[in-house]
Amino acid sequence: MRTLYHIPLSPYSRKVRLALAEKRIPFELRIERFWERRPDFLAMNPACTVPVLQEENGFTIADSYAICEYLDEAYPDMPLFGRTLGERAEVRRLIAWFDHKFHAEVTRNLLYEKQLKRLLGRGNPDAAAMRAGYQNMKMHMEYIGDLAENRAWLAGSQISLADFAAAAQLSSLDYIGDVKWELSEPARDWYARMKSRPCFRGLLADRISGLAPPDHYSDPDF
């Protein structure tokens, strides 16, 4: 069976899980404690990051963007990178926005500080980083709201990997109760639409032992 090595709160793993589920590609999940640096995992991905996808025939690919591009080329039904040249450029711009800018300015300052740092034994959360994360969230929620108000989906008229990249970052933060949904009603409405899609079911069913999500986490009408 095709296997995705992941950790539940990893936004990059979540993006790939959504892409696989939207394309209805069967897969199983395997938790990889990347901080233990398992030799077999290092052999698959010398960068030692999750996610890593292993196809049934043993073909292995690391990096969420490379995995999603590979999936779109290998399984072209339900294209996730847009159809026209212009759409494809906009999808890629927004994937980079969420994978890099949103992650660096918001997710890293909250999720990494509060959860991953402890797991990795890298000390206590940094209060200044957390303040910056909450502050930066305002601009990002407004931006998502503006996109959602002016387009059917974030990158244009079709759902795309841009929506999954954004939803993946937000769903990891939502699991730890750190998304201020009151900052943008259009962003919240867009996320409610995302949550009600069948591809989201796996993420909404995630439960991490000793860390329960808030009640609204799995409720599409939150």
Summarize as ranges the residues that interact with ligand GSH (CB under 6 A): 10-12, 34, 48-51, 63-65
Q: Shortest distance, CB of residue 150 to ligand GSH, whole angstroms?
A: 27
Q: Shortest distance, CB of residue 160 to ligand GSH, whole angstroms?
A: 17
Q: Which residues contact 156 (CB under 8 A, 6 or more apart)?
A: 82, 87, 90, 91
Closest CA to 17 of 134, 135, 171, 214: 171
Give counts: helices (H), strands (E), the chain: 9, 4
Rounded Cα gap, residues 190 and 145, in angstroms: 8
- Nearer residue to ligand GSH within complex by CB, 11 or 145: 11
- Nearer residue to ligand GSH within complex by CB, 55 or 63: 63
Instruction: Using CB atoms within 10 Å of the CB of residue 1, give its burial: 0 to 12 exposed, 13 to 18 middle, 19+ buried.
Output: exposed
Q: H/E element holding 71?
A: helix 64-74
Q: Which two tokens stand for residue 23?
A: 């394309």
- Nearer residue to ligand GSH within complex by CB, 98 or 153: 98
- Nearer residue to ligand GSH within complex by CB, 63 or 142: 63
Q: Shortest distance, CB of residue 178 to ligand GSH, whole angstroms?
A: 15
- Nearer residue to ligand GSH within complex by CB, 192 or 208: 208
Instruction: Using CB atoms within 10 Å of the CB of residue 166, give its burial: 0 to 12 exposed, 13 to 18 middle, 19+ buried.
Output: buried
Q: Shortest distance, CB of residue 70 to ligand GSH, whole angstroms?
A: 12
Rounded Cα gap, residues 168 and 112, in angstroms: 15
- Nearer residue to ligand GSH within complex by CB, 61 or 148: 61
Rounded Cα gap, residues 56 and 184, in angstroms: 42
Q: Shortest distance, CB of residue 157 to ligand GSH, whole angstroms?
A: 26
Q: Shortest distance, CB of residue 172 to ligand GSH, whole angstroms?
A: 8
β-pair partners for 3: 28, 54
- Nearer residue to ligand GSH within complex by CB, 53 or 141: 53
Q: Shortest distance, CB of residue 107 to ligand GSH, whole angstroms?
A: 8
